[in-house]
Structure 1
Amino acid sequence: MTARKRVEVAAAVISRADGSFLLGQRAPGTFYPGYWEFPGGKVEPGEDARAALVRELDEELGIRAAACWPWLVREFDYEHAHVRLNFFEVPEWTGEINDHVHSALSWQRADALTVDPMLPANAPVLKALRLPRRMGVTQASSVGVAAQLAQLEGALAGGLRLVQVREPQLATAERETLVREALARCRAAGALLVVNGDEALARRCGADGVHLPARALEGLGARPDFEWVGASCHTRAELLAAAALGADYALLGHIAATPSHPGAAPLGWTGFEALTTGLPMPVLAIGGLGRADLATARAAGAHGIASIRDAWEGDAR
């Protein structure tokens, strides 16, 4: 039996400040002609994926990637080959985009796609691009429910679009009140809300998803039936378990020293990169981080950051 052909590919999410990204339409005479894809191409022998992407963007689009950040890795079985796609984020480049290989180019947004069909491998990638870059984790058990809701209103007004309600110390009724009140505010702002650890509460309140603690990953036989499923992770094994479950994202930390983990050694960005290399889902960094750390986090391969205190302090933009 002939071994299935394996192809290593580097692909770019070339993005603008408004959140739009570039897609190219495959030309006649190629596999899947007319389908839309992220720019990129094959990794040649002796190349690493980043070098291949820099070369491909120069050859295909005439641009030089000024920033090329690892993001996620997806695998897909096409009729002609098993393809491993190494996705990088390219938010900065030099030169004018001048396409040499596609039938057309189009700037798109993941929440309002206007072109089709997309290459089959890209559905999870488009969903990952819908995930906001910053998550606020609630602290109502410390500040009180009323104060937390007031902080939430300010953060939503400032642009926060992803909220995790994590309140194990609150009484059940008080926690449900918080979820319902917070969800109403998130809905009005177009933000997502996930509930930590309590699937029944999340379902009862109509939350957008559930966020699983690491200890829950091993006992789950199937992915919870929510639009968004996330997981808190601290080790490579936990990240792989979250990926195997089909989680849409993971949190990994703690990155920096934080009062919530006194005496515990932080991962740092080198440790974060080592644990997240090659994962198929986006990972948000957590632990002692604020808005000023977002670019550093993304350069280290994070999709974004999650924070407890910083998310609710002042202007959340």
Structure 2
Amino acid sequence: MTLPRLLVLTDRTQCAGPLPRAVEAAVEAGARAVVLREKDLPGNARAALAAELAGILAPVRGTLIVAGRAGGGAVHLAARDAFPGRPRPALVGRSCHDLAEVAAAAAEGCDYVTVSPVYPSASKPGYGPPLGPAGLATLARATPAVYALGGVGPEHVADCRAAGAYGVAVMGGVMRDPHSVAEYLSALHNTVEDQP
């Protein structure tokens, strides 16, 4: 599976309306991979939401990644979650915040990691001071697919890619304005030709 350069993470508390409408608008703007968080929802409600979001992504052959070990075909793990057993999901990502976590994720076979916070972010409090581009560069050397997360705006994309990030992961910015996906994709497109 080819990973897109942009991951959209959900947070229904930051949406102006229903989460599925925000995701639909983000997909219309070009998003092709969405990480469903919303871990506080009861199991049945979360499963129904996952099915609805998968239906939104299906016509564009997008990927729904579900946070947590019970995600199905594509999962996104927290830093301390155990790696899934067999059968292995087709896509496994992990949230990381330091070099040890990134190295461990690479060693266990994660397909990608998000590293955060790269910039100051109200959505990602409590994980220490922002890494900045220099800190991101250190972590990006440990595995081939690192997504910069935390306070990343379209204006930061070039610096994140120059630091070695494969792409960017965005939550608050896209949840508040799903149409901003086009700005992120434009910024990413301008860096792809310059970076491997």
Tell me the TM-score range normalised by the shorter chain: 0.7 to 0.9
Give 1:262 deviation, angstroms: 4.3
Identity %: 34
Give 1:142 deviation, angstroms: 4.8
Q: Normalization by structure 1: what TM-score?
A: 0.53
Distance 2:8 2:109 in 1: 22
Give 1:285 deviation, angstroms: 0.4
Give 1:221 deviation, angstroms: 7.6
Could you report, residue by residue, the CA deviation over 1:133-167 in whole angstroms, capped at 9, with x for unpaired residues? 111101125549x6110011111011011100011
Query: Where do residues 63-102 of structure 1 align in structure 2 (5 Å cutoff)?
Result: none
Q: What is the match of residue 120 of structure 1? A: none
- Equivalent pairs counted in the alignment come to 179
Q: Normalization by structure 2: what TM-score?
A: 0.83
Query: Where do residues 31-110 of structure 1 align in structure 2 (5 Å cutoff)?
Result: none
Question: Contact 2:123–2:172 (CA<8 Å) still a contact in 1?
Answer: no
Change (3 A) 1:222 1:314: closer
Q: Quick check: 1:134 aligned with 2:34?
A: no
Could you report, residue by residue, the CA deviation over 1:165-214 in whole angstroms, capped at 9, with x for unpaired residues? 01112222221111110011111122111100132xx22xxxx4001110
Higher strand share: 1
Distance 1:221 1:227 in 2: 11
Q: Which runs of 5+ in 1 are unaligned?
A: 1-126
Change (3 A) 1:222 1:170: closer
Question: Contact 1:223–1:245 (CA<8 Å) still a contact in 2?
Answer: no
Q: Which runs of 5+ in 2 are unaligned?
A: 183-196
Distance 1:314 1:140 in 2: 12
* Secondary structure of residue in 1 paired with 2:168: strand
Could you report, residue by residue, the CA deviation over 1:222-261 in whole angstroms, capped at 9, with x for unpaired residues? 5761111100001111111111111110000101111134
* Secondary structure of residue in 1 paired with 2:92: strand
Distance 1:299 1:224 in 2: 36
Structure with bigger gyration radius: 1
Letter of the 2:163 counterpart? A
Over the residues paired in the alignment, what is the CA RMSD in angstroms?
A: 2.1
Letter of the 2:80 counterpart? R
Q: What is the match of residue 311 of structure 1? A: 174
Query: Where do residues 183-222 of structure 1 align in structure 2 (5 Å cutoff)?
Result: 183-199=54-70, 202-203=71-72, 208-216=73-81, 219-220=82-83
Query: Where do residues 1-317 of structure 1 align in structure 2 (5 Å cutoff)?
Result: 127=1, 130-143=2-15, 147-199=18-70, 202-203=71-72, 208-216=73-81, 219-220=82-83, 225-262=88-125, 264-277=128-141, 279-312=142-175, 313-315=177-179, 316-317=181-182
Higher helix share: 2
Letter of the 1:239 counterpart? V
| Greater relative contact order (CA < 8 Å, ≥ 6 in sequence) | 2
